[in-house]
Amino acid sequence: MLGSHDVNRMDAGRRAGATSEPDGSTRWRVWAPRASRVDLVLVDGTTRRVHPMRAVEAGHFSVRLPGILEGQRYAYRLDGGAERPDPCSLWQPDGVHAPSAVVRPEHFAWTDGRWGGVPRRHLVFYELHVGTFTPDGTFEAIIPRLPALRELGITALELMPIAQFPGARNWGYDGTFPYAAQASYGGPRGLQRLVDACHAAGLAIVLDVVYNHLGPEGNYLGEFGPYFTDHYRTPWGAAVNYDGRGSDAVRAFVLDNVRMWLEELHLDGLRLDAVHAIYDLGARPILRAIQEVADDAAARLGRPLHVIAESDQNDPRLLTGAARGGYGIDAQWADDFHHAVHAHLTGERQGYYEDFGSAWQIARALETPFVYAGDYSVHRGRHHGAPLPPDVGPDRFVVCVQNHDQVGNRARGDRLSTLVREPAAQRLAACLLLLAPYLPLLFMGQEYGEEHPFPFFCSFGDKGLMQAVREGRSREFAAFAWQGEVPDPNAEATFASARLDWSWPDGTPRAGLRRLYRDLLAAREAWPALRDAAQARLLPDAEAGPLLELTRGTAGGGGLRALFNLTAQAQPLPKGTGAPGAPWSSERARYGGRRGDAETVRELLPYECLMIGAPDPP
């Protein structure tokens, strides 16, 4: 029965698309229940060789052929219609509308046989967009930069989505071939080389995947079968059919995709985009099934694999296990930390920031990732979130002060470094992030104060769609005119504006900021106190504005006390602090600040972070 294609057959390999058989032949298998006849078409220039496929169980069709070389182009014809690429294509070298190509991941010469992965508590994520991270915009162009990321203290790359999308420019969330690594980035072979190089450098690599919708251009799945449903709707298009008629094969399509990334492509984890838009009322929800597939793969591979969900619902059920009615996901993004810090430092109160801006929310976000845990949300007009169970630890939450969403979902894609011009405030944000008890995520270039924007961009070929995107972006930001004019998403100049400068010359504020990130990331590994929970409060004797105290560890066991001046004015030291001599300060000259390394501290400078009772970072 088709149900066996779900989580009960975790030991099975990829079952659809073009796969290699033990005798060297190639087998094609496609799910097309809406067709009565399916032909495989081998494409060689203008020559077509047509091979009828045999109907097998539950709407699947299959054919096996000898002598197929890697790179062979092919397509399917449904009931004699137009040629369509393979829904499970691993390679679309000529774009989303062109034939697929045979590729055999198992032929890659991996060198990572001793790779043991990165345990969850040691994860430090570096989110990057392949196309704008380097001038070349390819997987392999990332490799020379890996040593700099490792030296910084990064332990895991997180790639924005790479599933094949229309054209050569896209954030990745408009992908239409979930199995195919973007051809303009270097395709599956380029990705394999990057993964292998990451492991050689001691870095894990995690991929952002989109299982809530597919993009609008080159999306032919609906012609094959009921991949989508009208019962639900996402903000980006039709929802994926996880619980309706025909959903067994759709679930198999996604779970095989999970297996492929983790096992065939050797990735160390998946970030699941916008899981609040994944709708599944079945008894065995797809989110739980994805986690089970990853757990099974981790057990067989003998190394940790991580599933991280993005959700803005502040819902503990994402992380709690099935016994408590949850999904048991390894970790999740937690947005409240970002919102609390961003709103306080920028003064913005529009959109969802109207729920934030008070200094006490930063203190609360340091103690619990859900600032809203059943509290009333003005922005939503209702109570939002729920409290976390005490056994859900801080290492199950990923937090940031910048990411692709929070930067890119602005009219012009402004970064924090351009919104907050005071360098000391940028250093304060780094300290709040890296002294928090959660798993930190840095958005590419953040560590040195990159000022190039990261606006939304795409390169659709459909002119009507291109115009609809332009008009949609303009409408979306009509109420945010103060953010500036929306650049044309389809213009190559918009894409080019997002390329990193990737420079931090000695003696510049950039070099100092990067040194601060590096020192604090080293401290996270070296200081035992930073493995403990956090206690945070606003001190009542701060005379000129909010002063935040963060305690990690215990006073008698190498505890750490950090003081944050959350204001643009100097603040006296809290009563009872005494003269601490020369504690560590984010305002030391080595970080671009105004303090000498041995300077005695008598007050906190604007936006300064002091650490008392801790050695200098390694």
The residues annotated with a catalytic role in the active site are 273, 310
Residue type at position 557: G
How many other C-beta atoms are found inside a 10 Å radius of the C-beta of residue 302? 8
Count the alpha carbons within 13 Å of 596 in the hemisphere toward its beta carbon: 4
- CA separation for the pair 511, 368 (Å, rounded): 32
Q: Report DSSP letters for 334-350, one per residue.
A: -HHHHHHHHHHHH---S
Q: Which of 601, 563, 565 is nearest to 425 (CA)?
A: 565
Please answer whether residues 360 and 538 qualify as being in contact, where contact means their C-beta atoms are separated by less than 8 angstroms. yes
In sign, the C-alpha dihedral spanning 67, 70, 72, 76 is positive
Q: Which of 259, 261, 325 is nearest to 292 (CA)?
A: 259
Please answer whether residues 293 and 255 qualify as being in contact, where contact means their C-beta atoms are separated by less than 8 angstroms. yes
Q: Which two tokens stand for residue 346?
A: 């920028």
Q: Helix, strand, coil shares of the chain as percentages rounded to 5?
A: 35, 20, 45
- CA separation for the pair 600, 581 (Å, rounded): 5
How many other C-beta atoms are found inside a 10 Å radius of the C-beta of residue 369? 25
- CA separation for the pair 454, 408 (Å, rounded): 5
Q: Which two tokens stand for residue 88?
A: 């499970």
- CA separation for the pair 271, 331 (Å, rounded): 9
Q: Between the CA atoms of 530, 536, 540 and 544, what dihedral angle is there, to the nearest 10 degrees?
A: 70
What separation, in Å, do the N-terminal and C-terminal C-alpha atoms of the chain show? Answer: 58
Nearest-5° Cα angle at 104, 102 to 107? 150
Which residues make beta-bridge pairs with 74? 42, 100
- CA separation for the pair 460, 492 (Å, rounded): 11
3-state secondary structure of 444: coil
Please answer whether residues 363 and 538 qualify as being in contact, where contact means their C-beta atoms are separated by less than 8 angstroms. yes
How many other C-beta atoms are found inside a 10 Å radius of the C-beta of residue 451? 13
Q: Which of 402, 394, 345, 391 is nearest to 552 (CA)?
A: 394
- Structural element, H or E, at residue 610: strand 609-612
Which residues make beta-bridge pairs with 463? none
Q: Which two tokens stand for residue 51?
A: 């091979």
3-state secondary structure of 400: coil
Nearest-5° Cα angle at 440, 438 to 446? 155
Residue with tokens 């005695």: 600
Which residues make beta-bridge pairs with 474? none
